[in-house]
A and B are shown apart, each in its own frame.
Chain A
């Protein structure tokens, strides 16, 4: 009965490779997010989708491309990986802000990406 799941949990790859991280939520939420957490634990929003539509797109290199095939899935594809991409990437979901809800976010367990 996992709420927000991510695969893989660990990803070790060489510079220049292309990789994808998958995220799925079974909470029936409308909104999904990708965050990057660096080694100092700072959490930065990267993207957010609401009902498959991109609503937040922070200043992120265009090597990062999110894809939402349906509202339960938000995948992150990264081209030409660089050393600085090493971090923990968290997926999250929330009900959505319609109706003035608290819109609490539920986080996945994270994907630790190491670029060598």
Chain B
């Protein structure tokens, strides 16, 4: 079945850029998402990208998709302490009922 992998930890200084990486195995993945989970809260959608796109930018967030390598990344520019959270990569096929989540990357932002 589909597998989604992420590194578990990332530590950056405030003001630097953060890049969170994700790889997936199913080349027919159509929708690729990034969710954010703050302490004690549920997951919240940050952004998503369709498989026919290479890049999507939304304010401080840039998503890059390399379909050939099945690699997805989330770049957060000017990282703030409020960005400290767990970031989950998730993928789904067209018409698929199941969204597969990665294990989450814990982002620590040092002041």
Q: Which residues from chain A sit less than 8 Å from chain B, CB to CB? A: 4, 31, 40-43, 45, 48, 50, 55-56, 90, 92, 97, 100, 102-110
Contacts and interface: CB of A to CB of B under 8 A. Distances in A.
B43 A100 contact: no
Interface residues of B, number: 25
Contacts of B42: 4, 90, 92, 107-110
B31 A110 contact: no
A85 B7 CA distance: 26
19 contacts: A31-B97, A41-B103, A42-B104, A43-B43, A45-B101, A55-B97, A90-B43, A92-B42, A92-B43, A97-B97, A100-B94, A102-B31, A103-B99, A104-B45, A104-B48, A105-B43, A105-B45, A107-B35, A107-B42
Given A43-B104, A109-B42, A56 B97 contact: yes
Given A41-B86, A104-B45, A107-B43, A97 B95 contact: yes
Contacts of A31: 97
Chain B interface, >50% SS class: strand
Contact of B95 (A100, A104, A105): A100
A47 to B, nearest CB: 11
Interface in B16-74: 31, 33, 35, 37, 40-45, 48, 50
A97 B43 contact: no
B86 A102 contact: no
Contacts of A43: 43, 88, 101, 104
Contact of B98 (A48, A104, A110): A48
A55 B31 CA distance: 19
B83 to A, nearest CB: 17
